[in-house]
Amino acid sequence: MKKGLSILINILLFAVIVFLAWQVVKSIQAPIKFNTEQKARETKVVERLIDIRNAEVLYKNANSKYTNNFDSLIAFCQTAEIPIVKIVPDPTDTTFTRTINDTIGYVKVMDSLKAGRDNFNISDLKWVPFSQPQQNFELEAGTIQRNGIEIPVFEARTPYEVYLANPGADFSEKEWNQRRDNVKAEKESINRYAGLKVGSMEEATTDGNWEKL
């Protein structure tokens, strides 16, 4: 009887040890898995923000301002063309120091943005990857004053809650949300935007915040 009880106790102790070891391994792997999933999603979000930036810059070059309307931006990309400019010496300049811009053709904005990507769809420009249900990027445009000059600016952004809304594999909703909220709190504690954005409504820049880390 005592021997049987001893065996049972040993089995229970072994089970407890295995469970605790598994919990330790899980606690170590969980933040690594979360960071891996976060970076994978942010890679796609950044790609989309870069496309928005490129489209906005081309829109501004054609219209002398940015737009805060995705429908207008997408329509522009679908129909507009941009000149191909070649810089050549000014034939009237005998000093050979002046140049002129010679337009040698035009290229469609769509072709410029697509850049060889077969799966590029301009209609997806406004959608945040991994958002469920689908949500738009937040898009603003306007001007700021610098030395009495009106400077066009724009900003496109999306917070963690949008593209990190749904749990990754191996995460419960509660655990996933807690880790996402921890990342958000860390950003906010140093006065940084808790998400990804490009451009700014406060300064004349087209940088993304991932480029400033």
- Give pLDDT tens digits for 118-131: 889 999 999 999 99
The tally of CA atoms less than 13 A away on the side-chain side of residue 51 is: 27
Q: What pLDDT shows up at residue 20?
A: 58
| Statement: residue 17 has pLDDT above 70 | no
Which pLDDT band holds residue 179 (cuts at 50, 70, 90)?
very high
Q: What pLDDT shows up at residue 84?
A: 73
What token pair was written down for 150? 């009106």
Amino acid at 81: E
- CB 83 within 8 Å of CB 103: yes
| Statement: residue 93 has pLDDT above 80 | no
**Whole-model pTM over 0.85:** no
Classify 136 as helix, strand or coil.
strand
| Statement: residue 200 has pLDDT above 90 | yes
| Statement: residue 91 has pLDDT above 80 | no
Mean pLDDT of the chain: 86
Please, what is the Cα angle at 209 between 208 and 210, to 5 degrees? 90
Q: What pLDDT shows up at residue 202?
A: 95
